[in-house]
Every structure is written in structure tokens, then in C-alpha cells.
Amino acid sequence: MSKQTTVDRAELKRRREATQAHARAWGPGFFVKLILIALVDALGLYGLWMAWQTGSTAIAVIMAVLLAVVNWVYFSKRALPAKYLVPGMIFLLIFQIYVMLNTVFVSFTNYGDRHLGTKEDAIAAIVRNSQLLDLSQPTRDITLLSKGGAYYLAYVNDAGEAVVGGQDQPFAKDDAAQVAGGVVTEVPGYEVKREADFEGMGGSLPTKPVENLKVPLADDPEAGSLKVMATDFAKGQVYKPGVTYDEQTDSLIDNSDLAAGVVIYKANNQTGQFEHNGDRYPRGGGWKVTIGFKNYVKLFTDPSISMTFGKVFLWTVVFAFLSVATTFFFGLLLALAFNSERIRGQKIYRVLMILPYAFPGFMAALLFKNLLNRDYGVINNVILGWIPGFEGIDWLNGSTLMAQFTVIMVNLWLGYPYMFLVCTGALQSIPGDILESARVDGAGPVKRFTKITLPLLFVSVAPLLISSFAFNFNNFNLIYFLTGGGPVPPGGSADDPGGTDIMISMVYKLAGVGENPDYGLATALSIVIFLVVGLIAVYSFRKTRSLEDVM
């Protein structure tokens, strides 16, 4: 170190002499800075303008503030530390702090697959999707047309005009259409399709695009729309919205079920859906509203969630703790065993032993999923296959306990090299003279190990153990790739939280896959995870006094 210091000082002296001719503020560094800031400003102004154009006022304001801050920081003489902090801070603010805050915000809403947008969107979608055959209107003689892969309909309306229209494109008069006997026979630019054209396309006549084709009669959705009859492509029937929205009473009037008669679904602005006697309107979604702490309450009290949540929470803690404990002790034992240069080939051993650390974790998890497969996995077939009478162990999909054991074992393979490296480094940094003086004082090897080596080792690796705990607490890739959270409880689907799901993979299942993603509930769970990990970490960092060193 000291040698390098003198070298650096000598070089600095040379450098100083070389640069002293220039005024300090106008060196090449200044121009590099100028160019970089100019680039950032250009990008920022472009973004500002675009944000303004697209009406994203919030983004525009944030951009303006950021630009002002960046320019002030880099041209002011006062904000020295900020010059080094700003680049990272900007990314941190946008992609970490902002999304965290927004996560908190979402966790207080019912945002989810069923509650995506505004109330207006929800009503429009419900009215559009509800349809009821309008028996008061005659069946029309229609002509099916196609253009550019899409289908269109044409017919002669009551006024004797030939009209053409398509999906979400109301019928409009087409003067060029040719009519014979009250039926449109040809429309320039379109190809006429007859039932015969669909034969040989997999047997059944009505193909999906035709089946779903619904042409509005007019711009007003109340006017209804024309659909092709499934049994006869030359006939069309008029469908009207089965549901209408009544603004006065803020409710849906549902006509679509003839047997049940008219049902009125009243808008509930607390839950963000239309309800009748407590049942939500079944054929459409609701809208996004703020629901306060309901997601959190649900997590802890709703019997369908809170049981699973409790189990998952417990397993998450156990998993993270055991992962750290097993990898640490195995790594420590190895470090103790190999902390000696008398072993020939130590370098080769070390490279081989830390290979699992260098092999990307997600690939290892997927690989072990194959190796541990009950039927074709290598572990059952080759490594244990020679044992007479061995029938194979269902490592991953049998009992929950077995799957949990397997997960810990796989994580041991993935994690011990890190602990091995860390413990080796820590052992080597323990000053020899302390141990030597203990030996002189008559402490035996066991006593020296337990009273000096181990405590000193713990002090230096404790922060890493805490980080490792926090990492494993959220070790999504291992769980999701190895077991997918399974084994699934009897009668459950793969989307339900299973025996090895940890909290973060449960969040993913709640929000990502299942049938009805509930983002509100998922984000509430995210916040709970954050609080738990944050509290544990802050508490233990305080304990290990690493914070005091920092300050």
C-alpha cells in the first residue's frame, strides 16, 4: 500500500506540473462534462416536449424538475457531493422509490383483472358485451363479405339502401353496391363469401371470425347490432344490448336473462362494482376504487387467504433461515478444512468447489428440476438407482415436507460456495497475534476456536449473513423454477399457493398467473414482505453495530 502511495504521489506531481498551465475549470474534463450535460439536456427537452404532446403532465413536470436539478448540480460550485450522487439517484428515484410508492398506492385499491379502469370504461364494456336477440326486428337477408382478412356484412335496409359495415364499424350506405331481389350481390372492393366457401375448413361451418362478427346498426349502441345466424350464413339477426345503464339511479338494468326477468344491479362505489343483493354483476368487470386497508385486512382475516398466508409466511422464514444456516456451516467447515496452503492442488479444488456459484442460479434451479424428477431424473435413476428395491423418491411433488427438504438441499448446492469464499476471507483476516497470545496464555485449540476465532468470524460475516437472509427471503427464481411453488394442496390448481411457495412467489401467483389477478391484494402482500424484511434487517444491522461504523 505505502509503496503504491508514493508512486501515486510522484505521478500526481508530474500530472500537476503538466496541468498547471491550464486554468483549472477549463481543462478537458470540463468539456467532457459540457458535452455530457448537453446530451442529457437535449434528451430531457425532447422528453419534456413529448410528454407535453402526449398530455402526460406529471411526467413533463418531473422531467422539468430533474433537468433543472441536473444543470444546477453540475454547474454549481456548491453541490460537490451531489455531483457524484445525482446519476444513481435519478434512476433510484424513478425505478425504485417511485414504483415503491406506487405499489403502496395500488395496495389501497381494488386494482385487478376485474377492476382495471374507470367506471365509464366498465359500463361501456358491459353494455357492449351484453346482447339479446331482438325478436321485434325481422331477420335480414344479408351478404357476407371479406376484405383483407376481415369480414363485413351488407344488406338492404328499410329505406331500400344497400349498406355495408364491419366489426365496430356501423353500417353505412355504399352506392356502388349491386342489389338484386332485395339482396346485395356484389360490392366493389370486397369479395362475396358464401356458405360453400367455408366447406372443407374443418367440417363445421361457422368459423370463429364469422361467429363473433357483430356489426352495429348505428353509432348509438342502443340501436343494437346485426349478427350472422349460425345455421344460415345468408340470414342476419338483430341483437340489442341486454343491459342498459341508468344514470339517474346509477344502476344497470339487466334484461338479458329472460327467465329471471329484469334484474337491477346498483353501482357500489365502495367496492367498485355493480351489485344485486350482494352479488356482483356476473358478466363483466367493475372499476378501480380506493378501498383503504381492506386488502391488508383480507390478508390477515379472510379465511381463504389468511391460512395460506400464515403457512407461507412461516415457511418463508424457515426457508430463509435454514438456507443461511446450512450454507454458512457447510461453507465454514470447508473454509476451515482448506485454510492451508499445504494442500497440493488447492487452486484446482477451489475452482471446482466454487463452480456452483458461477453457474447462473435460475439455470441451476431448472436443471435440478430435471435431475430430481421422479420418473426420469438422474438422481433417482443413476445416483440412487443401484440400491436394490429402491423405487424412486418423489422429491418435488410428493409430500410438502420432502419438497421443502429438497429445496433447502438444492439451495445448499447453490449457496455454499459464497459462504466458503466469505469465511475463507474472514478467517485470513483474523490477526494471528491474538491467537498466538491466547496460546501462550494456555488456551487449547478448541477454546481458541470457540472463544476467539468464531466470535471474530461472526462479527465480520454477520452483515453478509443478514444480506443472505434477505436475499433468500425473496429468492423467487429458486422456488419458481424448481418447484413452481408446489406440491399443490389436494384439489388445488397449479396457480394456488403450494407447499414450497414463499411470500414473493405467492405475490407473483396472486398478480401474475391465476384466473383473476388481484393486483391490489398482491401489492399489499409485497408491502408486508417489505416491512418484515426491512424490520429484520434494520434490527440486526443495529445489533451487529455495522450501522454505527457507517455513521
Q: How far is the CB of 208 from other proteins (least distance, A)?
A: 23
Nearest-angstrom CA–CA distance, 346 and 88: 40
Nearest-angstrom CA–CA distance, 514 and 312: 17
All cell numbers assigned to 464: 453478509
Q: Which is nearer to other proteins, 109 or 225 (CB)?
A: 109
Report how far apart, in Å, the C-alpha atoms of 384 and of each of 25, 395, 414 are: 72, 13, 21
Report how far apart, in Å, the C-alpha atoms of 447 and of each of 424, 435, 444 are: 20, 10, 5
Q: Which is nearer to other proteins, 154 or 529 (CB)?
A: 529
Q: How far is the CB of 229 from other proteins (least distance, A)?
A: 38
**Which helix (H) or strand (E) is 238 found in, with range?**
strand 235-240
Q: Which is nearer to other proteins, 314 or 355 (CB)?
A: 355
Q: Which is nearer to other proteins, 402 or 459 (CB)?
A: 459
Q: How far is the CB of 387 from other proteins (least distance, A)?
A: 15
- Provide DSSP, 143-184: EEEEETTEEEEEEE-TTS-EEEEETTEEEEE-TT-EEETTEE
Q: How far is the CB of 364 from other proteins (least distance, A)?
A: 7
Q: Which is nearer to other proteins, 198 or 471 (CB)?
A: 471
Q: Which is nearer to other proteins, 432 or 491 (CB)?
A: 432
Q: Which is nearer to other proteins, 291 or 334 (CB)?
A: 334
Q: How far is the CB of 550 from other proteins (least distance, A)?
A: 6
All cell numbers assigned to 397: 411433488
Q: Which is nearer to other proteins, 224 or 484 (CB)?
A: 484
Report CA 117 to chain centroid distance, whole Å. 19
Q: How far is the CB of 401 from other proteins (least distance, A)?
A: 22
User: Among all chains, which residue has been given the C-alpha cell 364491419?
Assistant: 166
Label residues 305-332 b or e (16+ Cβ within 10 Å = b): beebbebbbebbbebbebbbebbbebbb
| Omega cis (within 30) before 188 | no
Q: Where are the beta strands (DSSP E) in 487-540?
A: none
Q: How far is the CB of 3 from other proteins (least distance, A)?
A: 13
Q: How far is the CB of 391 from other proteins (least distance, A)?
A: 16
Q: Which residues contact 290 (CB under 8 A, 6 or more apart)?
A: 108, 109
CA end-to-end span of the chain: 25
